[in-house]
Structure 1
Amino acid sequence: MKDKRILFVSSEVVPYLPETELSSTSFNAAKNAHSKGVQTRIFMPRFGVINERRHQLHEVIRLSGMNLVVNDMDMPLIIKVASIPKERMQVYFIDNEEYFKRKAVFTDEDDKLFDDNDERAIFFAKGVIETVKKLNWAPDIIHVHGWLASLLPLYLREFYNEEPLFTESKIVTSIYNNSFEGNLNDKLAEKVQFDLNENKKIATIKTPNHTNILKSAIENSDAVIHGSEDISEELSLFIEEKEIPVLGFQEENFKESYLNFYADLIAVK
């Protein structure tokens, strides 16, 4: 795996957000790959709760400045970057004042999902891809963590399917037991359809609940990893039906298992 390239895309990463199974796993997967000589890049949203001064985030002017179209609206993309102390790993932050300035992550003070989480997910997916294009950095593996990042596989497979930078990239999605109650904005599929027209894969997210958003990620991925020990039966059955490589939950031999799984995927042409 030395000198291979892995793009880690996560909605949560320590030390920038509190420690959870998702934020810790996505960080440790990247850290371990990096320690083995793998070239890594980590992308996450620049949520307003992240302390920019403490974590020394700074804007990358050469990457910022473009507008992304979300639901027929031009939304400015700001890219910030920081280095994880002692690890020499760069983390790129997708930012936009309207979507990410608020001092909260997914829910308001009444613990209700933000009504624009759907647009935030679209913006994050397109922002990651457009930034990687600007970096001209072709990843061998793209590893997706968290439901807010789960539109990325759909956009890569359908909206950016002719982008040569990602032609050889294998998409891996980790499934976690971090579901939310209810649905995202009911117009999610309509907003994605603005980009993808009458694409049949949009049907999966017609009802934009946690399970269906992850199903969309799974059906557009080359492989799946169980990031949590307990995965819903519905998602487990859906993964089985897709007949793609699956790595079960890894509690003890996490480091080598992930690297071997990546290597096996890269070897398949």
Structure 2
Amino acid sequence: MNITFVSYEVAPFAKVGGLGDVVGTLPKFLQKKVDSISVIMPFHKIVEKNIEKYNLPLEKIDENLYPFSHSLKYPFSVFKSVLPETNVPVYLIKNENLFSTEDVYEYPHPEHQTSYFCDASLSLIKNLLPDVDIIHVNDWQTSLIPVYLRNNYRDDEILNKKATVLTIHNLGYQGIFSPDTLNVAGLPGYLYNIDALEFFGQINFLKGGILFSDVINTVSKTYAEEIQTEEYGYKLDGVLKIRNEDLYGILNGIDYDSFNPQTDKLIPHNFSISNLDNKIKNKLALQEQLNLPKKENVPVISFIGRIVEQKGIDLISEIIDYLTLLDIQIVILGTGDKKYEELLIKYQNKYPDKLSINIKFDLELAQLIYAGSDMFMMPSKYEPCGLGQMYSMRYGTIPIVRYTGGLADTVKEFSCENNKGTGFGFYEYSSSNLLISILKALNIYFRNNDCWKNLIKNAMSSDFSWDKSADEYLHLYKKAINKKNC
């Protein structure tokens, strides 16, 4: 079985969110289970800097290739690198006109850029990877690939044999554009109808991927159920119900070799379940770095993520005044909505000994926060999978979450009575429920040290490695091939 992933971001070449982490990691665990695996992505401007930063190889392997159908007849070159610590090839599609911005998602006409990339990826596959069996596309940016295959290339002797798997990492982002985008993309006009890409007078790239892929999955079992409801479906719940028999949920994993508190080079003090004293040393190092009072018995509660309402930052903001009355410290790292960024900075100025607000992306600081915090907040409005809660548990930092999507699948409510569970959470989306969950955690932290240590050990013993998920993907690929051959 030969697999190729197609994605707009792949860590460490270009990473904006969890999509980059997943596509940069999952192939590493699949490579020993399949005949061959590769990755295709755009040659974004940031890619060259990261290739140099991580000392990765880079060679040009082809040039003057063209998309087959797209109206923008720009030529593209193909460069080749590898995923770090693997032999998985990464093919980079380069065109100076379209992939010309510093930010991965900054191009002014994303509908032109993404549709070109989809068609160019199929040109690359036909010319350089003709033996691929499965094309694994990710999110709306690559969702036109199954649309092209089922319509423009259904008679192509090479491309019509390819099965497709679409992974929806976040249904909230769909790629909705004007109908004339079909002409630019070189797709047939008959796709502008309710049973294809038409979507409330526009066209919807992700809807096309859902309808034309052989198999669809999302990144947790609970989220796969949630997106078929009106509350979470973002007006695609009806389409997803139509494809219900081909819709699966496979939980994301994390790389336990890279995220390992015993060997992590980005934290000052390595530690393990049997040596939690060094975890406290990381807390002191975190407090010192962020100019917070160094107090080992004061719990540090952290948040790492996008500063947006989807991540529950509105709930956190609503209770900060109350939380600062408690003997705790709060650390926040991330960027996002300017309204909340400015509000959080005001709170920091008001409570400088209680709050550290870091409006930036900083991988090294993130690792220290995971290692040095006592608790980790993820009160998301919705969360397809979430990786932060997995990272925090790996480092013995207790998650406080809203039980939705992947958070419901990975965090189990802790009870001192039976010492089972890995964190704390709530269901109804409200700041009062978040506060109650935080107070539950603090009550155990301050009043029952033995119980808290058992909770830490439970969290650190959780297994969210990619091995199990990789086996589930292998099963999914077989389903896609069987469906394609029916």
Which TM class, normalised by the smaller chain length? 0.7 to 0.9
Partner of 1:116: 109
Q: 1:70 to 1:105 in 2, by over 3 A?
A: farther
Deviations 1:188-212 (A, max 9, x none): 23323xx233333576445599992
Aligned ranges for residues 54-133 of structure 1 at < 5 Å? 54=53, 56=56, 58-61=58-61, 63-68=62-67, 72-107=71-106, 114-133=107-126
Q: 1:141 to 1:26 in 2, by over 3 A?
A: same
The answer to whether the aligner puts 1:138 opposite 2:98 as a matched pair is no
Q: Counterparts of 2:109 and 2:100 in 1: how far apart (Å)? A: 13
Partner of 2:217: 225
Are the aligned partners of 2:2 and 2:36 in contact in 1 as well (CA < 8 Å)?
Answer: yes
Partner of 2:208: 216
The answer to whether the aligner puts 1:27 opposite 2:18 as a matched pair is no
Q: Counterparts of 1:31 and 1:267 in 2: how far apart (Å)? A: 24
The answer to whether the aligner puts 1:11 opposite 2:8 as a matched pair is yes
Instruction: Report the AA paired with residue 87 of structure 1.
Output: T
Deviations 1:188-240 (A, max 9, x none): 23323xx2333335764455999922111111101101135364323343122
What SS does the aligned partner of 2:31 have? helix
Q: Counterparts of 2:175 and 2:187 in 1: how far apart (Å)? A: 25
What SS does the aligned partner of 1:92 have? strand
User: Does 253-262 or 239-248 show the bigger shift?
Assistant: 239-248
What's the CA shift for 1:115?
A: 2.9
Instruction: Report the AA paired with residue 219 of structure 2.
Output: G
Percent of aligned positions with the same letter in both sequences? 23
Are the aligned partners of 2:68 and 2:120 in contact in 1 as well (CA < 8 Å)?
Answer: no
Are the aligned partners of 1:81 and 1:93 in contact in 2 as well (CA < 8 Å)?
Answer: yes
Structure possessing the higher radius of gyration over alpha carbons: 2
Q: Counterparts of 2:78 and 2:470 in 1: how far apart (Å)? A: 30
Deviations 1:162-201 (A, max 9, x none): 1222333211101121644994466323323xx2333335
Are the aligned partners of 1:139 and 1:166 in contact in 2 as well (CA < 8 Å)?
Answer: no
User: Does 43-52 or 89-98 show the bigger shift?
Assistant: 43-52
Are the aligned partners of 2:140 and 2:175 in contact in 1 as well (CA < 8 Å)?
Answer: no
Q: 1:81 to 1:210 in 2, by over 3 A?
A: farther
Are the aligned partners of 1:8 and 1:42 in contact in 2 as well (CA < 8 Å)?
Answer: yes
The answer to whether the aligner puts 1:248 opposite 2:240 as a matched pair is no
Q: 1:138 to 1:180 in 2, by over 3 A?
A: same
Unaligned runs of 5+ in 2: 253-463
User: Does 8-17 or 64-73 show the bigger shift?
Assistant: 64-73
Q: What's the Cα RMSD here?
A: 2.9
Deviations 1:62-108 (A, max 9, x none): x211234776442121111111221111000111101112211113x
What's the CA shift for 1:131?
A: 0.9
- List, as ranges, runs of 4+ consecutive aligned residues in structure 1 with deviation greater than 6 Å: 208-211
Are the aligned partners of 1:115 and 1:185 in contact in 2 as well (CA < 8 Å)?
Answer: no
The answer to whether the aligner puts 1:189 opposite 2:187 as a matched pair is no
What's the CA shift for 1:156?
A: 1.4
With normalisation by structure 1, the TM-score equals: 0.83
Unaligned runs of 5+ in 1: 108-113
For CA contacts below 8 A with separation 6 or more, give which structure has more relative contact order. 1
